[in-house]
Structure 1
Amino acid sequence: MNFRESIDLQPERLASSRLAVADVLREIDTTPLKNGSVGFVGIGASLYASIAGASEFRSRGLSAHAFSPMDLLEQPSGLADSFIALSASGRSVETVDAMRSAKGSLYAISKDSENPLASVVQGVITTRSGLEASPSAPSFTTTLQAIGMLADRLTGQFTAAWERLPEAAIRILVSSPKALERCANAFGNATSIDFIGERQLLGTAYEGALLAREAARLPACGFDLRNFLHGPMEALDERMALVVHGSHREVKLAQDAAAFGCPTLLVSDRNDVPDTTNLIVLRVPSVGNSLADSILQLIAVQLLVARLSAARGLADSKFRYRQADTKIA
C-alpha cells in the first residue's frame, strides 16, 4: 500500500473508527477531564493533532493546551491537571517517557490498546484505524475525529458532523481532482511550500507541511495565519508555493500572494472567491464542526501531496531516514 492508496481508505476508516471510539467512550471514565485543564501531548504528526485538539477543546469552553513530550519531561507537574497523549502506534519513546513522568489523570488516543503507552495511562481511546502506508493518512484523521467525539462527551454538545464525515470525504475524493491537477501543475517548479491556517486548521497546516516533506521530499513549513502576516510572508515569490486554509482573513492573504506571483491554493468553504492568475480555489464544504472541517481540508491536501509525490517519482518510495531510537520495539 502506498500513501495515495491509504488516502482512499479514509471514508471507510472514519466510519468504522467512529463506531469503535463510541464504544470505548461508553466504557471508560472520562470525568477527570472535565475538571481543570487538559494537556494534549504528542510528537511529530501527533503534536500537530494535539494543536488542533487543544483548539477544539477551547472552542467548547474547556481549558486545554498542546505540549511536546519534552515540555513534560522538563516540568512533569503543573502544566495541566490531566493529559491526553496522542500516538497512533503507542510506541513513540518520548511520549511514553513523558507519560511515565507526568502527574495527573492520564489518557491516550492510539490505534489499539496493546502498546507501551497504554501501560502507563489510566484509559486508552482506541481508534482502530487499521493498517496504512507511511506517511500516514487514516491514523491522523481518525485521531482528530476521536478528539472531537471526546469533546462531545465531555461537554454534552453533540454534533452530527462525525456521521457526515465519510460521505463528505468521498465527495472530496471524487470532486477535487481537476482543481488539484491544476494546482500540482502550478506547484511543479516550486522550491518550497508554506502551509497556513489558524485554530483547528493550524494543525492541518502543520500536518500538510510534514506530508510535503515526507511524501514529496519538498522543503515545507506550517505557519499560524497571524504570525505569517508579521514577517514570514516576505519570502514569497514565484519560486515558492502557498497553501492557505480558511475563509476569513486567509482569503485576502491568498489573493495577495497570488498577485505577488506566488502559485497559491486556497482551501475554503467559500464559494464566492474566483480563481485568478496564480490562485486556485478548492471549495471544501463545512459539515458543521471546525475540527471535522479541518479533517476534510486535510484530505484535500493529502491528495495534492500525493500528486506532487508521484510527479517527483516518489509514489512508492519509503522513508530514507528511519531512526532507531524513536520507537519502542
Structure 2
Amino acid sequence: MSGTRIPFLTGQANQPQALERVVATLRRQLDAASAEPLRRARRPLFTGIGASYAALAVPVQLLRDHGVVSQRVLASEIVAGTAGFDVDLLVGVSQGGRSSETVAAFQRAGAARLPRAALLNVTDSPLGGLAETVLDLGNEPDSYASTIGFTGTVVALDLIAGAIAGRAAADDPWSGIAESVRAVRARAAEVVAGLRERAARCVAADVVAAGASRASAEEGALLLREVVRMPASAGVTRNYLHGEMESAGGTLHLVLGDGREVELARSLAAAGHLTLLVTTGAVEPAARLGVVRLPEAAAAARVVLETVVVQELVVALSEERGVPIETFVFANADTKEGGVDQADFTPVADH
C-alpha cells in the first residue's frame, strides 16, 4: 500500500504544519509502553536505503554524543544477516515500508531472533509486519522526490534517539519548528534567486557537510539527481579536503556548516567556483559565494532547515533547466515489495 502522493511544491508548502503533526505523533507513541524496547536499547543498529539511509546520520550522531554505541548500515549490506555487528536492536526506516532490501534484512534478523523496530510513514506495510515495535509519522501525504517524508523522518529519528539516550522531553529541539521552516525557506528563496541561472549551467554538484549534517548533504545530492537530473555527490568535510575537491570545475558547491566549512566555501568561491554556504555564521556573500544564514539550532533541527534550503534550490534549478519535478526516468521493479506501484508516480491534486 502506498501513501498519498502530492506535488513537490505542495509538500514544501505543507511542510511546517506537517512537521508539527509529526512531533506530536511521535511524542505520543514514544510515551506509550509499546516503545519500551527502544528505551532499553544500548547498541542499536540503524538501517535503511536511499533517503532513509541518509536520515540515519542524525540518530547515530546524537547517540554517539551521548555515549551510546550506534551505527548505520545500508540495508543491502545486511540482507544476509547482522553477523559482525554488536547489536541489541535493529531499527529499520522505510517511508512506505516496502523497500526490498530493508524487508529482507528484517526477515533475516527475525530468523535470528534479533529485536526489531520499524519507523514508517505508511503503517500497513511488509516492514511493519516484521517488526515488534512500530512507530509512524502519521501517514503524511508526501511527494515522490520526498519533502515531508524526509524531514519528518529526521524529526522522528531524533525523538527516537532522544528516547534511547534518556533525553528529557523538555530538551528536544522541535518547539517552534514550523516558524523556523517558514523563515528559512523565505530566506533561501531570496539567495537562490540570485544564483539560479549560473547554478543551472553547472555540470555537476558537490554537497559537503560533517556530523549529523551528513544527512542533509546526502539528501541534497539525491534531490539534485532525482529532481534536477544533475550528477551530484555528497562529501564529508575533512575527507573532501583530502583530494575530493580537486575536481572542481563547472561545478556547483553546496557547503553546510560553521567550522572548516566556512573557509572551504570561501576558498572554492575565490578560485572561481559557484558556491552556496548554509551556515549560522555571519558570513558575507561574495561574487561567487551565496550565503543562507540559519538560526542557531540543535543538530537535528539544523538538518531539517538545511534540507529546506536544498529543496528551494532544486525547485529553482528544475525550473531553470526545464526538468519537470515530478518526472522520473527509471522505475526499477525490484526495489519495492510487490513491484512498482504506478500510483507512486501520479501526484494527487493539491490538498
TM range (shorter): over 0.9
Query: Structure 1: any 5+ residue segments left out of the alignment?
Result: none
The match for 2:251 among 234, 240, 249 is 240
User: 1:290–1:129: structure 2 CA closer, same or farther, 3 Å change rule?
Assistant: farther
User: SS of the residue aligned with 1:309?
Assistant: helix
The match for 1:66 among 72, 96, 99 is 72
The match for 1:218 among 230, 239, 244 is 230
- 1:125 is displaced (CA, Å) by 1.1
What is the aligned length?
Answer: 326
Q: 1:178 is matched with which residue?
A: 190
Q: 2:301 is matched with which residue?
A: 292
Q: Which amino acid aligns with 1:132?
A: D
Q: 2:133 is matched with which residue?
A: 123
The TM-score with structure 2 as length reference comes to 0.89
- 1:90 is displaced (CA, Å) by 0.3
Q: 1:76 is matched with which residue?
A: 82
The TM-score with structure 1 as length reference comes to 0.95
Residues 242-292 of structure 1 show CA distances to partners (whole Å, capped at 9, x for unaligned) of: 000000000000001001111000000112x111121111101123x1011
Distance (whole Å) between structure 2 residues aligned to residue 35 and residue 90 of structure 1 = 22
User: 1:2–1:313: structure 2 CA closer, same or farther, 3 Å change rule?
Assistant: farther
Query: Structure 2: any 5+ residue segments left out of the alignment?
Result: 1-5, 339-351
Correspondences of 1:127-276 after superposition (within 5 Å)? 127-158=137-168, 159-237=171-249, 239-271=250-282, 273-276=283-286
Q: 1:89 is matched with which residue?
A: 96
Is the contact made by 1:13 and 1:129 (CA closer than 8 Å) also made in structure 2? no
User: SS of the residue aligned with 2:195?
Assistant: helix
Q: 1:8 is matched with which residue?
A: 13
Q: 2:344 is matched with which residue?
A: none
* Greater shift in the superposed pair: 222-231 or 51-60: 51-60
User: 1:26–1:112: structure 2 CA closer, same or farther, 3 Å change rule?
Assistant: farther
- 1:78 is displaced (CA, Å) by 4.1
Q: Which amino acid aligns with 2:244?
A: P
- 1:7 is displaced (CA, Å) by 1.5
- 1:204 is displaced (CA, Å) by 0.6
Is the contact made by 1:196 and 1:223 (CA closer than 8 Å) also made in structure 2? yes
Give % identity. 28
Q: Which amino acid aligns with 2:219?
A: E
Distance (whole Å) between structure 2 residues aligned to residue 207 and residue 190 of structure 1 = 19
**Do structure 1's residue 29 and structure 2's residue 29 form an aligned pair?**
no
Is the contact made by 1:186 and 1:278 (CA closer than 8 Å) also made in structure 2? no
- 1:71 is displaced (CA, Å) by 2.1
* Greater shift in the superposed pair: 33-42 or 224-233: 33-42
Is the contact made by 1:212 and 1:219 (CA closer than 8 Å) also made in structure 2? yes
Distance (whole Å) between structure 2 residues aligned to residue 29 and residue 323 of structure 1 = 34
* Greater shift in the superposed pair: 289-298 or 55-64: 55-64
- 1:154 is displaced (CA, Å) by 2.4
- 1:2 is displaced (CA, Å) by 2.4
Report runs of 4+ in structure 1 exceeding 6 Å deviation: none
* Greater shift in the superposed pair: 204-213 or 150-159: 150-159
- 1:69 is displaced (CA, Å) by 1.2
Distance (whole Å) between structure 1 residues aligned to residue 25 and residue 115 of structure 2 = 22
Q: 1:40 is matched with which residue?
A: 46
Q: 1:324 is matched with which residue?
A: 333
Distance (whole Å) between structure 2 residues aligned to residue 3 and residue 32 of structure 1 = 33
Q: 2:323 is matched with which residue?
A: 314
User: SS of the residue aligned with 1:107?
Assistant: strand
- 1:22 is displaced (CA, Å) by 1.2
Is the contact made by 2:251 and 2:273 (CA closer than 8 Å) also made in structure 1? yes
Q: 1:114 is matched with which residue?
A: 124
Q: Which amino acid aligns with 1:323?
A: N
Q: Which amino acid aligns with 1:141?
A: T
- 1:51 is displaced (CA, Å) by 2.4
- 1:179 is displaced (CA, Å) by 0.5
Is the contact made by 2:81 and 2:105 (CA closer than 8 Å) also made in structure 1? no
* Greater shift in the superposed pair: 180-189 or 130-139: 180-189
- 1:310 is displaced (CA, Å) by 1.3
CA RMSD of aligned residues (A): 1.5
Q: Which amino acid aligns with 2:322?
A: G
User: SS of the residue aligned with 1:300?
Assistant: helix
